[in-house]
Amino acid sequence: MPVAKQVKGKEFYDCISYVLDKDEKEILESNLSGKTPSALNKKFELCCRLNQKVRFKVYHATISFPPEDEVDDKKLKAIAHDYLYGMGFGEEQPDLEQLEKEERIKDKDKMFGDKSLAVPYLVVRHDDTENKHIHIVAGRVRHDGSCVSSYWDYRKSEQVLRMLEDYHGLSSPQGAIALKNLRKILDRCREECSNFDDLKEMLREQSVNVYSKNNGIVYGYKDKHYKGNTLGAKYTLQGMSKVLQQRGIEKYQSPPPRLDVENETIRAELETHRDTLERILKEEQVENFKGKHYEVQRNKKSLIITKIDNPEEKVKWVKPAPTMPWILSNFKFTEDTFNDFSEKMRTTRENLEKMEKDRVLKEEAVRKQQEIQEKLATVGTQTAPPSRRRGR
């Protein structure tokens, strides 16, 4: 099965340099002229000037294929096109939920046919590992100035990959097949049920169990457990509540509101907090620090902050490569937790700045005191009267 990784950044040049800085590479496709990082960077930047409010304008995806998947360059280009279009880099975001239900006729090289992409993009094949893989660099600003939404992009990526597996004849894991079957069961039961009690009973007849966990909904199927948000937005407790009556919902608590991980303001603030946490670790001269409310852990490539009373609520920064900026992933804070975390971090930062200011003032006071003492000693030496010998 193919595996995709996604990164969003601010600068094209470093990303393009990383992609092209390989001996065993091949540029498969691009709608931009130029083959050097400098030339391509100018083209990407020019296209993204249509919407200068977008800070994270760089989209970088890596799709890796196992050895059993025989993919030539023609198929790789088709997969890259279909992946980008499915992720919303065309004129609009396609309805993936509806497309998953449809039986697609495989009469074209590309799943989305001749539908064109609306962003600048570059596709490069790398042959430096056992698994063949491609790098896709794209701008998040469309030709009309609109921004490609990144809402639920990891969920969208999984959906698109499973659809590509089926259309292009790629290997597919049993887990993906189970998820597809589970969604079909849930879709059918949603349409036939009117409330949560009926839903639970009907799902049990389909060998699907429903549980409440951490203010959300979990489905047990084929000896596995799947959270609602893993399946998709409409399978969460909130999504189910939109089509089912509330009878029986008291067995489940309403899930807390989630923050959009791609919100640029939140990202910027979290970056500030990361610097604060780095300063705390540096001051304490440790790699792990446990405070009253949050625990901070750091290793070579990541920084993880966990809430003490609920370890499942965490935020994790990952540094994927030396040439790429820090990115945020595994964002699981609720709104209340984030506000609490943000307030405590601001207070901590203010305390650190106050301590630093006090330290500087103390050092300045000591320095001035030393200067005064040195001046007094010098003046005392210069003004001391000569000693006289008294005659007899």
Q: What is the pLDDT of residues 361-378, one digit of tens each?
A: 888 888 888 888 887 877
Question: Please, where are the H alpha helices in 232-313?
Answer: 237-241, 264-284
Closest CA to 160 of 88, 83, 97: 83
Report the distance separating Cα 392 and Cα 390, nearest Å.
7
C-beta of residue 104 within 8 angstroms of C-beta of residue 169:
no
Of the listed ranges 53-62, 286-295, 326-335, 340-349, the one predicted with least confidence: 326-335
pTM score, whole prediction: 0.53
The residue with greater pLDDT, 341 or 250, is 341
The phi and psi torsions of 245 (rounded to 5 degrees) equal -70, 160
Work out the percent of the chain whose per-residue pLDDT is above 70: 79
Q: Which residues contact 214 (CB under 8 A, 6 or more apart)?
A: 312
Report the distance separating Cα 101 and Cα 192, nearest Å.
17
Q: Which residues contact 232 (CB under 8 A, 6 or more apart)?
A: 97, 152, 155, 159, 183, 239
Q: What is the pLDDT of residues 157-198, one digit of tens each?
A: 988 998 898 888 887 666 667 777 888 899 888 888 888 888
**pLDDT at site 321:** 55
Burial class (CB in 10 A: 0-12, 13-18, 19+), 391: exposed
Q: Which residues contact 221 (CB under 8 A, 6 or more apart)?
A: 178, 181, 182, 185, 207, 208, 209
C-beta of residue 190 within 8 angstroms of C-beta of residue 199:
yes
Helix (H, G, I), strand (E, B) or coil at 89: coil
- How many residues are recorded in the chain? 392
Taking residues 119-148, report their average pLDDT.
Answer: 93
Report the distance separating Cα 384 and Cα 180, nearest Å.
97
Q: What mean pLDDT is reported for the chain?
A: 80
What order do you get walking across the sheet with 224-227 strand by strand? Answer: 209-213, 216-221, 224-227
Query: How far is Cα of residue 146 from the mean position of the Cα atoms in its chain?
Result: 21
Report the distance separating Cα 126 and Cα 19, nearest Å.
8
Question: Please, where are the H alpha helices in 193-263?
Answer: 196-205, 228-231, 237-241
